Structure 1
């Protein structure tokens, strides 16, 4: 079983994960044709800028590159871009929408699992050989922000068969337009767990901020929260990270326009 839902005495003993930078070219003084090669540091910076500014970043500028290692974006490839395109296309049927959304959710969940603490272990293979590998630390759980966050629950269960999942219901007050918590149900030892907080569309960040405050009230530290999101606006991501500098935010892209129709189309309530 890849993930464990039993409590941890101290979840801070796991390995810390830093933001991986992808360099497409090795460092050297010149190419075979004699043309100069851009140094690795500059290539890394260009890759990060591309993740924010394109192909659909809207020219957001470099201010959002300074959000620190807490912001993690899945490496962009054609598969992810196609899934994003189908989800955003207004002509997409609901069947295709749900299928592609589930695929993208699975990619985000699996990357979220990479952020969980693990320890080294040695197992014996059927042939009697010893194999040195790793196993996740015990004490992980999921929390979905209802209703759209529930779309990500099955993807998490597909990866972690018996993981426990809590729920938070937050809605905007009709008079004040402020996010208000209506319901919260967590495992009793939530304060000792590492939490995968699920919310697919991150727009203003207000709902997530309120959800994190509820988790903090239950004794959980922000550094033990990994926010899983499919689409995020830069301002929403910035608001959350400024409010909780120790939280980890994982998404597939930063874009000023979020597909806010996601929940309605996924659950067929358009």
Structure 2
């Protein structure tokens, strides 16, 4: 099955993205904006969910049948910037479990290095929703997808605020079945691997590191 690229174009999201791009936006406001955007992304990623179960409940008036989500997804943070999205996504999908992947591209060995990996025991057969605010070169994202697929997840979807054209093509090449949900597709990457115009280093701006 071919993966989709969904660009969520909404005036409220574009308004919030404008403040994320602004270098004058402080860390506290930046964190809140990332959370607000992540909640909306979580809503969109679940829009076509079709695994439901029927449950009988009592309303204050009468007995009725309602639907609840079955086979809940696993929300995966690509650390550390993905942590800025994780709680917000889980607030929208509170019945989901969570996983963590710590991975980075080492400029000396020219390869990705995994330093942390922790997943729920029952991840097999579940959808994995991968959270990372920015996907630039896609090297770490592809390595993370490789790891998740080794655990036989059912489907993988990426939630990101900004994604480069280059990253989309690279992900499509290595993992054509993965869906990508984003606010905007950036056309350029500079020599340091940053998206242009982008919003800088999301992790540094979230946590006031350098």
**What is the Cα deviation at residue 248 of structure 1?**
1.2
Task: Name 1:103's counterpart in structure 2.
Answer: 36
Cα distance in 2, alignment partners of residues 73 and 134 from structure 1: 28
- The Cα offsets for residues 94-130 of structure 1, whole Å up to 9 and x where unpaired, read as 2222222211111112212224333263645321164
- Identify which of 126, 134, 146 aligns with 2:67: 134
Q: 1:245 to 1:79 in 2, by over 3 A?
A: same
Cα distance in 2, alignment partners of residues 137 and 225 from structure 1: 17
Task: Name 1:262's counterpart in structure 2.
Answer: 202
* Stretch deviating more after TM superposition (122-131 or 101-110): 122-131
Q: 1:81 to 1:237 in 2, by over 3 A?
A: same
Give the CA RMSD over aligned residues.
2.1
Cα distance in 2, alignment partners of residues 247 and 69 from structure 1: 5
**What is the Cα deviation at residue 265 of structure 1?**
0.6
Conserved in 1, the CA contact under 8 Å of 2:97 and 2:120?
Answer: yes
Cα distance in 2, alignment partners of residues 118 and 85 from structure 1: 36
TM-score by length of 1: 0.68
Q: 1:111 to 1:262 in 2, by over 3 A?
A: same
Structure 1 unaligned spans of 5+? 1-15, 17-67
For the pair shown, the structure with the greater C-alpha radius of gyration is 1
Conserved in 2, the CA contact under 8 Å of 1:139 and 1:192?
Answer: no
Structure number with the higher strand fraction is 2
Cα distance in 1, alignment partners of residues 174 and 125 from structure 2: 22
Task: Name 1:50's counterpart in structure 2.
Answer: none
Q: 1:168 to 1:141 in 2, by over 3 A?
A: same
Structure 2 unaligned spans of 5+? 188-195
